[in-house]
Amino acid sequence: MMAEKTTYPEFTKNYPLLVRNFMRRPLYMYPDDSAIVYRSDEGKYFRFTWREWHARTCQLAHALQALGVKTGDRIATMALNHHWHMEAIYATICTGAISHPINVRLSLDHMAYTITHSEDKIVFFDHDILPLIEALYDRIKDKIEAFVYMSDKPGLPKTRIAPLYSYEEIIKDQPQTYDWPDLDEDTHAVLYYTTGTTGLPKGALYTNRQIYLHSLHIAYLASSAPRRPSDPPRPNQAVTLMNIPLFHIHAWGSPFFSVFGCAKILMPGRFSAEGFCEMVQTEKANTTMLVPTMLAMILEYKDIHKWDLSSLINVNIGGGALPLGLKQKAEKLFPTMQVGSGYGMTETYDGVISARIKRHMADWPQEQIDQIMVKTGLAYAPAIDARVVDTDGIEVPKDDDTIGEIVLRGHWIMEQYFKDPARTAEAWRGGWFHTGDAAKVDAAGYITIVDRITDVIRCGSEMVPTVLLENLTCNAPFVLEAMFVGVPDEKWGEIPMALVKLMPGLTNTEEDVLNYLRTEGVERGKITKWMLPVYIAIVNDIPKTSVGKYNKREVRKQMDRFVGIAKRVRL
């Protein structure tokens, strides 16, 4: 009798690392625990257990199959953060298709480009995005095979969009279980496009394996970080308020490591300071992620003191540098909150460098800890290699002064730009991914970003790092936000201009800003005299990109207007 063929290679060392496996853990361990809580803009709450959420995801997987979706098809979502969006992400990826969340804050031209360039097959959208879909429809109608409308209200809206299906209708009669396929772990899972601030958006593809490894590292690093004597107890369960839009690298990977960690996931729909405060108080959120501009919005919210935000102990900041002043203002307002920064980009999937203390720093004074936590940080995990190099690819000295470019390689660094071999080759020259971010490194190995290489102000023969100036300006107790850009100048090439937004209710002047930079910057040796701004404008708002970063390109386009409202504070 012939012996059965062994399956050892397939089910041990070759067992695939798939996103579908994340769903198994909470379904097995906590099936009836609260999994996802969505708060609509109208204040209505939707609650799902892990069992309920998994059943709905299975129903959608069957619906996708009925719509003809196959492995490798791109499925777009244009929606806020809610349970429908989460279901669409998992059903798409786990059936072998590719989830493509579209940045709904891009221009219509850029949105139409990403849809056609990615060759999306289906577009899921919600009621809030309906006007955008209608505006895009004539440009994409010949490319898209089906549109799916996500809403808790019955029926379909009156619109010319076709063919249009109701999300709830296409899933309601489908089975609540699904035999998820055994995919190869290198099957592509997600596609993200950059914001296109320097040209057309670029697409970055990532595999199931990359997502899986990233999530495991996130879970390990969160549980292994050194703790200080004053740290609040680590909660048994993360209650995560997912503020970062899912179109922004799937909220920095939150749908994946949060499900793997059995976290309670809070989804606020559209971000607002009031909605944020209500969900923290109501659901006792203890963890969240914000871009600096979101944190600034919360700090200037006039009714902030009406809410109990004491449960919130961990705030991760990304999408821009974390100014020390902003960190200290937040922690003064919320004493149990700990704020730290991190760094990543569309091409790195999520964070790859993170501000964290080392073991010997646990007993340091708070002032010294603060200085560490506002640095860009250390390479995020053993799976990531980060260096700061000069133009010849040689690592710069660890003197916290010499500026070079951050280069990376690792398990979840983008392999290639989608359908763009030329820009892929340029980015990956020398075997390292070149980020375009200028930085310096201190003796302990901590990296600090000083600017985008394209944003450095070139004043005569000197380079003025704008991020350094922005962070220093935000340390002023009267400043909420600050942006620096270079103004063209015949003599010097460029001279610095600051746009400053004050803390609510304050009336400080341009001279106050300049005097602060002189005393706290020049006199303390943090900056040189020639880095001081020549122009300063006190503004109500600073232009932002679609993901909340300072939009310096827009300021340059309107340079005459901003110089016109600025005050010249020095010759």
Three-state secondary-structure class, residue 37? strand
Q: What is the pLDDT of residues 208-259, one digit of tens each?
A: 999 999 999 888 877 777 888 888 888 889 999 999 999 888 888 999 999 9
Q: Are residues 317 and 352 in the same domain?
A: yes
Q: Are residues 405 and 444 in the same domain?
A: yes
Q: Does residue 225 lie within any of the structural domains?
A: no
pLDDT at 2: 46
Is the bond into 477 cis (omega within 30 degrees of 0)? no
Do residues 567 and 510 touch, judged by C-beta distance below 8 A?
yes
Q: What CATH number should be reported for the domain holding residue 507? A: 3.30.300.30
Whole-number Å distance between alpha carbons of 448 and 526: 14
pLDDT at 88: 98
Q: Does residue 333 lie within any of the structural domains?
A: yes
Q: Are residues 362 and 503 in the same domain?
A: no
Q: For residue 352, give Cα distances in angstroms to 337, 344, 383, 517.
A: 23, 6, 9, 31
Q: How many residues does the chain have?
A: 571
Q: Are residues 297 and 442 in the same domain?
A: yes
Whole-number Å distance between alpha carbons of 189 and 205: 8
Q: Does residue 374 lie within any of the structural domains?
A: yes
Q: Are residues 390 and 446 in the same domain?
A: yes
Q: Does residue 246 lie within any of the structural domains?
A: no
Q: Kindly indicate the confidence band of residue 130, based on its pLDDT and cuts at 50, 70 and 90.
A: very high
* Residue at a domain's end among 207, 236, 251: 207
Q: Are residues 68 and 103 in the same domain?
A: yes
Do residues 239 and 283 touch, judged by C-beta distance below 8 A?
yes
Q: Is 96 left (phi over 0), alpha (psi -120 to 50) or beta?
A: left
Q: Does residue 349 lie within any of the structural domains?
A: yes
Residue 202: domain span = 34-207
Q: Are residues 41 and 108 in the same domain?
A: yes
Q: Are residues 67 and 161 in the same domain?
A: yes
Q: What CATH number should be reported for the domain holding residue 132? A: 3.40.50.12780
Q: Are residues 353 and 308 in the same domain?
A: yes
Q: What is the pLDDT of residues 364-416, one digit of tens each?
A: 998 899 899 888 889 877 889 999 999 899 999 999 988 899 999 999 999 89
Q: Are residues 68 and 194 in the same domain?
A: yes
Q: Are residues 487 and 448 in the same domain?
A: no
What mean pLDDT is predicted for residues 70-94?
97
Mean pLDDT of the chain: 90
241 phi, psi to nearest 5 deg: -90, 110
Q: Are residues 193 and 135 in the same domain?
A: yes
Q: What is the pLDDT of residues 290-306, one digit of tens each?
A: 888 888 889 889 999 99
Q: Does residue 550 lie within any of the structural domains?
A: yes
Per the structure, the count of domains in the chain is 3
Does residue 6 surpass a pLDDT of 60? Answer: no
Q: Does residue 212 lie within any of the structural domains?
A: no
pLDDT at 556: 87
Does residue 525 surpass a pLDDT of 80? Answer: no
pLDDT at 461: 55
Other Cβ atoms less than 10 A from the Cβ of 425: the count is 11
* Residue at a domain's end among 192, 207, 222: 207
Q: Does residue 242 lie within any of the structural domains?
A: no
pLDDT at 95: 98
pLDDT at 9: 59
What mean pLDDT is predicted for residues 342-349?
88
What mean pLDDT is predicted for residues 351-369?
90
Q: Kindly indicate the confidence band of residue 320, based on its pLDDT and cuts at 50, 70 and 90.
A: confident
Which segment, 115-129, 234-248, 398-412, 540-554, is predicted with the most confidence on average? 115-129
Q: What is the pLDDT of residues 177-188, one digit of tens each?
A: 999 999 999 999
* Residue at a domain's end among 452, 470, 501: 452
For the ranges 7-21, 337-351, 404-418, the lowest mean pLDDT is seen at 7-21
